Amino acid sequence: MVGAIGKDKDMANEKEKVIVVGVETEENSAQFEDSMKELKNLTETAQGEVVFSLTQKRPRVDRQTLIGKGKLQELIDFADAYEADVIIFNHEMTPRQNQLVCEALGIRVIDRVQLILDIFALRARSREGKLQVELAQLNYLLPRLIGQGKHLSRLGGGIGTRGPGETKLESDRRHIRNKITVIKRELKEVAAHRERSRQKRQTADIFQIGLVGYTNAGKSTIINLLTAAKTYSEDQLFATLDPLTKKWQMPNGMVVTITDTVGFIQDLPTQLIEAFQSTLEESREMDLLLHVVDASASNRLQHEQTVTALMEELDFGTIPVLTVYNKKDLIDKDEFTPTLFPNVLVSAKESQDKEILISRIREKMMELLSPYELTLGADQGQALSELKRQTIVLSEEFLEAENSYQVRGFAKNESKWVRRTEE
């Protein structure tokens, strides 16, 4: 895998110098500033340093170069003045646009999609995650091979080159298509193993909770708060890439699973959605989704809309959702107005909020589960212990006259405990 930065810069421990470019049009004017700010954050996440930001206002982007001849000459001058290593456009470029701009500048030119794919390549840890990212990158770069060879031959590594690497990208289309076929086959095997694990959890009557949300909303911090999972949790975009499923024993004794997923982002590349289908399948089978939202984000509403739209696109629309507004320590609670319901406002960094969050999750679970009432003999201790692990036990009373336990609670509708109640 190609390194994060070129060899010379690696020796000097320097970051690549990046110029970010954005065109404000009639279509994107509402979120343009936030989108450019996000592009800078993405660039820093990819270990680059933004040395200049070039923006332009026009009714629509230029068909050939996105920014037009005059602005392109300005970009050439700025690239020379700042000794830029790479130019990153805040738009998805067509193969022809990329080729024309690249030829004019003589340095590496990538777009927002390629940058996000690059960060995913940097973040992938598991075999499945690496395969999924490589598949997305190859699918994205396949139509962009024409004219890429001479530019790729002098890249020497850096932002936009992680993953498949130069030698693979310089290979012919047939080789890359064969590689895509091999990766898809390997992913099918991994997906089959994941499906077996998922079915095993379902047959075990385990309640499954999934975490979704905009990148950097605090999903990993929430899962760490609840489960002490010690997952990677930093103030970075896409800090978590590989899905993580952990068991969580609630205070009442019930054991559920919590799955952390990759963060969503505005204009999430379709190549990634396609590549991560097996991972996303994990979330489709959840009994409850916790939509984690950064309550302190200046563009919170846009984040919410992005995630909600993607959830619809990914067929999550039928799964019950509890919105967890996180980072309340960074806002004025009196001025905060929630827009998604039902919800709970917490700070994952404040220990006392753990009980508030657990209580709200428990309430939501009880709305989704079915009530049961059972009588277990005093000699059925193992069944009672199993009942406490698999259900929410509301009350447990020992009746001396009958020498039995009277237990009331809530369980999954298809569980044996509810069936026994109905019998």
- Residues 239-251 have pLDDT tens digits of 455 567 888 999 9
Residue 218 labeled ligand binder: yes
Same domain as 211, residue 359: yes
Residue 25 labeled ligand binder: no
Residue 366, Cβ neighbours under 10 Å: how many?
A: 14
Same domain as 338, residue 220: yes
Same domain as 385, residue 343: no
Residue 83, Cβ neighbours under 10 Å: how many?
A: 9
pLDDT at 202 (0 to 100): 65
Averaged pLDDT, 377-384: 93
pLDDT at 154 (0 to 100): 39
Please choose, from the candidates 372, 375, 376, the residue with its C-alpha nearest in 3D space to the C-alpha of residue 393: 372
pLDDT at 197 (0 to 100): 73
Query: By mean pLDDT, which of 120-129, 159-168, 219-228, 377-386 is the weakest?
Result: 159-168
Rg of the chain over CA atoms, in angstroms? Answer: 25
Same domain as 332, residue 209: yes
Residue 348 labeled ligand binder: yes
Averaged pLDDT, 379-403: 93
**Cβ–Cβ < 8 Å for 20, 85:** no
| Per-residue pLDDT at 182 exceeds 90 | yes
Residue 261 labeled ligand binder: yes
CA distance 416 to 273: 36
Stated length of the chain: 423
| Per-residue pLDDT at 3 exceeds 50 | no
Residue 395 labeled ligand binder: no
Residue 216 labeled ligand binder: yes
User: Does residue 139 form part of some domain?
Assistant: no
CA distance 136 to 140: 6
Same domain as 114, residue 89: yes
* Residue whose structure tokens are 């905009």: 214
Spatial strand order of the sheet with 86-89 comes to 48-57, 16-24, 86-89, 108-111
Residue 416 labeled ligand binder: no
Residue 378 labeled ligand binder: no
**Cβ–Cβ < 8 Å for 43, 20:** yes
- At residue 279 the predicted structure's pLDDT band, cuts being 50, 70 and 90, is low
Residue 280 labeled ligand binder: no
Residue 296 labeled ligand binder: no
**Cβ–Cβ < 8 Å for 246, 223:** yes
Q: What is the pTM of this model?
A: 0.81
**Domain edge (last residue) among 75, 96, 122:** 122
> Quick one: 329 exposed, middle or buried, by C-beta within 10 A (0-12, 13-18, 19+)?
middle
Averaged pLDDT, 11-15: 63
> DSSP assignment of 133-177, as one string?
HHHHHHHHHGGG-TTTHHHHTTT-S-TT--SS-HHHHTS-HHHHH
Higher pLDDT, 405 or 164: 405
Residue 239 labeled ligand binder: yes
| Per-residue pLDDT at 77 exceeds 80 | yes
Same domain as 381, residue 310: no
Contacts of 185 (CB under 8 A, 6+ apart): none
| Per-residue pLDDT at 374 exceeds 70 | yes
As a 3-state breakdown, the chain gives helix, strand, coil percent values, each rounded to 5, of 45, 20, 35
Q: Give the pLDDT confidence of 323-356 residue by residue, as tens digits.
A: 999 999 999 989 999 999 999 999 988 888 999 9
pLDDT at 13 (0 to 100): 57
Same domain as 351, residue 390: no
- At residue 147 the predicted structure's pLDDT band, cuts being 50, 70 and 90, is very low
Query: By mean pLDDT, which of 102-111, 138-147, 255-264 is the weakest?
Result: 138-147
| Per-residue pLDDT at 16 exceeds 80 | yes
Q: Is 199 helix (H, G, I), strand (E, B) or coil?
A: helix
> Quick one: 108 exposed, middle or buried, by C-beta within 10 A (0-12, 13-18, 19+)?
buried
Contacts of 114 (CB under 8 A, 6+ apart): 140, 160
Same domain as 355, residue 219: yes
Residue 214 labeled ligand binder: yes
Strand segments, DSSP code E, in 227-350 are: 244-249, 255-260, 288-294, 321-326, 343-345
The CATH number assigned to the domain holding 40 equals 3.40.50.11060
> Quick one: 304 exposed, middle or buried, by C-beta within 10 A (0-12, 13-18, 19+)?
buried
Residue 240 labeled ligand binder: yes
Residue 241 labeled ligand binder: yes
What residues make up the domain containing 76? Answer: 16-122
Strand partners, 399: 404
Q: Give the pLDDT confidence of 393-412 residue by residue, as tens digits.
A: 999 999 999 999 999 999 99
CA distance 39 to 116: 9
User: In the chain, pLDDT over 70 holds for what percent of residues?
Assistant: 83
Same domain as 90, residue 62: yes
Q: How many domains does the chain have?
A: 3
Residue 339 labeled ligand binder: no
